[in-house]
Structure 1
Amino acid sequence: MNRPTLTTERLVLTPVDLADLEDLQALWADADFTRHITGRPMTTEEVWFRLLRDLGQWGVRGYGSWTIRLVEGGAYVGNVSILDHRRLIDPPIDDPELGWGLAPAFQGRGFAKEALEAALAWADAHLRAARTLCMISPDNLASVRLAERVGYRPYRRTTYRDEPVQLFERPRGANWARTERELGAG
């Protein structure tokens, strides 16, 4: 099983490992971080099972989750993943899902975009799937804008666990990211 390490100018993305548990527990215990994802901090038990799931994806699917650290100094930044969630959702999701989360101290500095671009470049080169998807809470405007910046387009609104979500898709190799001006940021 190939569990690649990806490197960018400022970041190193390593496949998630048991050694990441302490950083993951701190991240998922942060109410600001979890507000758009789970709506509440996660317990140690929930984080443990999340880590086991992420580890297993590499062996079962050939893709998984990466831990994001700074090249300089090695500080924990967050995670980016390509996972098969098998969600109970309508419409069913049969494609790999891109997900990401950065510790609040590292948000707003371009790290998420840099990590997502690296993960998507790897996915474009190695996955057989014709597209990847992501699912975002409509009120998480920062993540919606980021998804659009890296080439995702909305294709369906639905509910997941009784909460509204927006589904986004990106065909493999797509280069249709909207510009900052088109997104109203410029």
Structure 2
Amino acid sequence: MSDAREIQTERLTLALPALGDFDDFATMRADPVVTRYTTRVPVTRSDSWERLIRYRGFWDILGFGFWIVRERQSGRFVGTVGFGENIRGIEPTLDGFPEAGWILAPWCHGRGYGQEAVAAACSWLDRETGHKRSVCIIDPQNRASLGVAARHGFSLFAQSTYLGEPILIFERLKPG
């Protein structure tokens, strides 16, 4: 059964999170390479379970959410990409705007999968929702994510802290 929110790109499939994605998702989030710019420590299976449920729940509550990303040909797990609303309590507030996020498994870093998945997600948001602005936060040391954000129209508009760590806050305005 396919969902209208499934996206196919040249190399990737973006699909709504499902129970069968949990082990790959939890393995990725337990990897210290993956978490060095986000949670700073590997994430437990329990925390990953909560996050997977949240990612799927965004769809029902907000009309947008996160996708699980896999290679089209092999079906190999690539990571996650999408939008949420996290009510982080930071200033300036991000509340009310889709907050973009992307996390990739280490095996595919540097292959352009992040660029391809974020492009597809942003295009979907522009086409399928009425949102004219999206936001994201990035650790100032995360050069790869800074490059992805810049390439897809996110521009720096503030600096803040989140959970005691410095963050850069970006916004992306819908083209046109």
TM beyond 0.5: yes
Q: 5+ residue gaps in structure 1? A: 175-186
In structure 2, stretches of 5+ residues that fail to align are none
Q: Secondary structure at the match of 2:78?
A: strand
| TM-score in terms of structure 2 length | 0.95
What residue number does 2:145 align with?
143
State the match for 1:184 in structure 2.
Answer: none
Partner of residue 117, structure 1: 119
**Aligned-pair distance for 1:82?**
0.7
Aligned CA RMSD, in angstroms, stands at 1.1
Amino acid at match of 1:82: F
Conserved in 2, the CA contact under 8 Å of 1:156 and 1:167? Answer: yes
Q: Deviations over 1:109-161 (max 9, x none)?
A: 11100000000000001222220001000011111111001111100000011
Q: In 2, distance between residues paired with 1:128 and 1:172?
A: 9
* C-alpha distance 3-17 of structure 1, shift in aligned 2 (>3 A): farther
Q: Distance in 1 between matches of 2:57 and 2:87?
A: 14
Structure 2 match to 1:27: 28
Matches within 5 A, 1:31-180: 31-94=32-95, 95-173=97-175
- Residue 92 to residue 85, structure 1, CA distance change in 2 (3 Å): same
How far did residue 55 of structure 1 move?
Answer: 1.2
- Partners of 2:147 and 2:73 lie apart in 1 by 27
Query: Which position in structure 2 is the counterpart of 1:177?
Result: none
2:7 aligned partner: 6
Could you report, residue by residue, the CA deviation over 1:84-133 in whole angstroms, capped at 9, with x for unpaired residues?
Answer: 11111111112111100110100101110000000000000122222000
Alpha-carbon distance between aligned partners in 2 of 1:39 and 1:127, rounded to the nearest angstrom? 33
8 Å CA contact 1:70, 1:77 repeated in 2? yes
TM-score by length of 1: 0.90
**What secondary structure sits across from 2:25 in the alignment?**
helix
What's the % identity of the aligned pairs? 38
| Separation of aligned partners in 1, 2:39 and 2:129 | 28
Give the Å deviation of 1:173: 2.2
CA contact under 8 A between 1:3 and 1:15: conserved in structure 2? Answer: no
User: How many Å separate the matches in 1 of 2:107 and 2:133?
Assistant: 31
- The size of the alignment, in residue pairs, is 173
Give, in whole Å, the separation in 1 of the partners of 2:14 and 2:61.
20
Q: Indicate the SS of the match to 2:123.
A: helix
Distance in 1 of aligned mates of 2:88 and 2:131: 17
* 2: CA distance, partners of 1:70 / 1:47: 21
- Could you tell me how far 1:3 is from its partner in structure 2? 5.5
